[in-house]
């Protein structure tokens, strides 16, 4: 019995260490990726009130920098975001208007990991913050047991982004958390992740319905 107990402890320790992946290991499958898609559940937590709001959606990506995000509330399409190398277009279907920003801006940085390890290192200082998970849970982050947490601090100003966190489970990104300059929390929890899926032609071209008010920012 005395020999069995140490063996169990060694095995348990090995499993814990094996789960502690590096950022290079986590992002290795994204180096050179051509397309990506995932569904998500998003929770926005307002810092001053603690009030939470939720929605769902789908994210599509095509290298080198095209992103489309469809957002749904109660099953209804309410917002779309299109990002390319120069513009970000927001279409608000409930308000029947659209906003075009003449820069990719911060929206694309939420998914910066899709452009691979080296690109991420150029834009962010990266730190393994797994030891901070208990604290992160207290402020409302949805982090599963056994997860690994990476903190990304922008090297240069990126709009309203203060920090980005990558939450990893079993060597795959489980969620992305954005902390803005007012300490509001925006967390995207992924599901049904697909690497290099076939995407329809023209999916990344904004289609603004007739009658919508269009503004430039």
Contact 59/37 with Cβ under 8 angstroms?
A: yes
At residue 159, the pLDDT reads 78
Q: What is the pTM of this model?
A: 0.84
Cα separations (Å) of 96 from 73, 89, 147, 206, 212? 15, 14, 40, 14, 5
At residue 104, the pLDDT reads 62
- Average pLDDT per 10 consecutive residues for the chain, totaling 217 residues: 46 44 90 94 93 94 92 94 90 95 72 86 93 92 94 88 93 94 94 95 94 93
Count Cβ neighbours within 10 Å for each residue of 104-126 and write b for 16 or more, e otherwise. Answer: bbbbbbbbbbbbbbebbeebbeb
Please give the full DSSP string across 57-125, using - where no structure is assigned: EEEEEETTTEEEEEEEETTEEEEEEEE-SS-EEEEETTTTEEEEESS-TTGGGGGGGGG-HHHHHHHEE
The residue with tokens 């659209």 is 98
At residue 116, the pLDDT reads 83
Question: Domains of the chain (ranges plus CATH)?
Answer: 24-216 (2.50.20.10)
Name the token pair of 138: 């207290």
* C-alpha to C-alpha distance for 1 and 102, rounded to whole angstroms: 69
Is 204 strand, coil or helix? coil
At residue 91, the pLDDT reads 97
């Amino acid at each position: 019995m005395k020999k069995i107990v140490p063996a169990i402890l060694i095995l348990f320790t090995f499993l814990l260490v094996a789960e502690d992946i590096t950022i290079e290991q986590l992002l290795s499958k994204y180096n050179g990726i051509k397309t990506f898609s995932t569904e998500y559940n998003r929770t926005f937590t307002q810092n001053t009130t603690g009030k939470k709001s939720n929605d769902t959606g789908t994210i599509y990506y095509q290298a080198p920098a095209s992103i489309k995000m469809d957002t749904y509330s109660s099953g209804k399409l309410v917002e779309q975001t299109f990002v390319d190398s120069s513009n970000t277009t927001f279409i608000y279907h409930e308000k029947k208007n659209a906003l075009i920003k003449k820069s990719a801006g911060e929206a694309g940085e939420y998914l910066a990991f899709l452009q691979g390890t080296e690109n991420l290192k150029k834009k962010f200082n990266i730190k393994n913050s797994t030891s901070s998970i208990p604290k992160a849970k207290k402020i409302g982050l949805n982090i599963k047991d056994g997860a690994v947490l990476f903190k990304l601090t922008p090297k240069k100003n990126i709009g309203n982004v203060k920090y980005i966190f990558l939450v990893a489970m079993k060597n795959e990104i489980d969620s992305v958390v954005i902390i803005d300059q007012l300490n509001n929390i925006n967390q995207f929890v992924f599901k049904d992740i697909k690497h290099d899926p076939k995407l329809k032609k023209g999916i990344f071209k904004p289609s603004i319905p007739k009658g919508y008010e269009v503004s430039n920012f």
